[in-house]
Structure 1
Amino acid sequence: MCRNIKTLHNFEPPATEEEIYLSSLQFVRKLSGFAQPSKANEAAFDRAVNQVSKAARELIDTLVTNAPPRDREVEAIKARARSAERFRSDVSQRT
């Protein structure tokens, strides 16, 4: 899974359209292998991003859970800690 695609389900406040769009864009980029499509592929690329966004919104809106919503700030702090640990480990392995 692409590290740039974030979990969007079960957050308070809920995922925004921009967050869903950006995750969809990353997904389509990963599938296509293009960071930026050529002019010849631009329409297909944009259409795919829009379709994935629509499907993602529908999925997020219909998923159910008994777990309490996660706090965005708490999850961001955990992600920064994981990142710091991962990169600290990388540096210590080089020396």
Structure 2
Amino acid sequence: MCRNIRTLFNFEPPATELEIRDAALQFVRKLSGFTVPSKANEAAFERAVAEIAASARVLIADLKTTAAPRDREIEAAKARERSALRFGN
């Protein structure tokens, strides 16, 4: 599950709200063990996703670096290359 959580800091263009929420959702799924919570746990699950997404936004905004921003397309190409080497695709 957590393999879907990607680095969101220092990219050009910056991380979108959807990317931040998706990362928070994956994190909550991993912690809770639920892919989809029951009705009894749905409110707590969604609240946790919202709180973690908010914390992630603050973290990303507060982090500083002197490194040049990474390009999403270049990083995606590198990931595809690593996958091909690893899995022989």
Partner of 1:39: 39
How many percent of aligned residue pairs carry the same amino acid? 69
Alpha-carbon RMSD:
1.4
Question: In structure 2, how many angstroms separate the alpha carbons of the residues matched to 1:10 and 1:60?
Answer: 8
| TM-score between the two structures when normalised by the length of structure 1 | 0.90
Partner of 1:50: 50
Aligned residue type for 2:32? S
Displacement, 1:76?
A: 0.4
Aligned residues: 89
Unaligned runs of 5+ in 1: none
Larger radius of gyration: 1
**3-state secondary structure, aligned to 1:3:** helix
Unaligned runs of 5+ in 2: none
Displacement, 1:54?
A: 0.0
| TM-score between the two structures when normalised by the length of structure 2 | 0.96
Aligned residue type for 1:30? K
Displacement, 1:23?
A: 0.5
Displacement, 1:83?
A: 1.2
Question: In structure 1, how many angstroms separate the alpha carbons of the residues matched to 2:86 and 2:38?
Answer: 35
Partner of 1:30: 30
Question: In structure 1, how many angstroms separate the alpha carbons of the residues matched to 2:85 and 2:34?
Answer: 30
Displacement, 1:86?
A: 1.4
